[in-house]
Amino acid sequence: MKNRYQRKKEPAENRRLLLEVAFGMVSELGIDALTLEAVAARAGLSKGGLLHHFPSKSALQEALFRESLDQFSASIRQEREQSPEISPAMAYFRAALTDLASENRRRALLFLFQAAMKEEYYRTHLTEWYREHLPEGNGIASLLTVLVADGLWNAGVFGFYTVTEEQQSQIITLLEQLNTP
């Protein structure tokens, strides 16, 4: 009998594949549909192969959560490196827009929000991340910029409403004016 899971052992690639499949499932079906069996099947791996990387559903969810935060943190750093003259709040804002434009990153954001809404553990960790990473800068302008970014995030991730490119451009102009020293 031939094993249908015969595949070259590529641990790093398999781990990445499992995370991408899990992000896709959460985006498509919601966090409650995330099961180890379903992720393994969609990835074309055995459940044992999945368990090698993620020994439990909570370990998989933790990895998805960390990956989501790491991706967004990297986006903020990249914005700061590309434009060191912008305020930390504008780097946060631009990173949020960049992540919304990427389907993979938008799926990661959707997982973050679903996990935080569902479990106190993730709300606590997300709160800690915000406290550590949120720009303080120049008071109310920084706070407003972060709140607008979060609002656009929610609109983009959940599809609450549509912001046109023209509106987005006007928002960016206004926020840049507010965040200019």
Inside any domain, residue 55: yes
- Report the CATH number that the domain containing residue 165 is assigned in CATH: 1.10.357.10
Inside any domain, residue 20: yes
Inside any domain, residue 128: yes
Inside any domain, residue 126: yes
- Give residue 30's domain range: 11-178
Residues of the chain with pLDDT under 70: 1-9, 135-138, 181
CB 168 within 8 A of CB 148: no
Instruction: Work out the percent of the chain whose per-residue pLDDT is above 90.
Output: 45
Inside any domain, residue 33: yes
Cα 136 to Cα 6: distance, rounded to the nearest angstrom: 52
- The helix (run of H) or strand (run of E) holding residue 26 is helix 11-29
According to the model, what pLDDT value does residue 54 have? 95
According to the model, what pLDDT value does residue 136 have? 64
CA 5 to chain centroid, in Å, comes to 30
Inside any domain, residue 136: yes
Cα 64 to Cα 94: distance, rounded to the nearest angstrom: 22
CB 179 within 8 A of CB 90: yes
Exposed e or buried b for every residue in 106-139, given b needs 16+ CB within 10 A? bbbbbbbbbbbeeeeebeebbeebeeeeebebbe
For the chain, what is the domain count?
A: 1
pLDDT digits (tens, 9 = 90+) for 58-100: 999 999 999 989 988 999 999 999 999 888 889 999 998 888 8
**DSSP annotation string for 120-170:** HHHHHHHHHHHHHHS--TTTHHHHHHHHHHHHHHHHHHH-SS---HHHHHH
Inside any domain, residue 150: yes
Inside any domain, residue 6: no
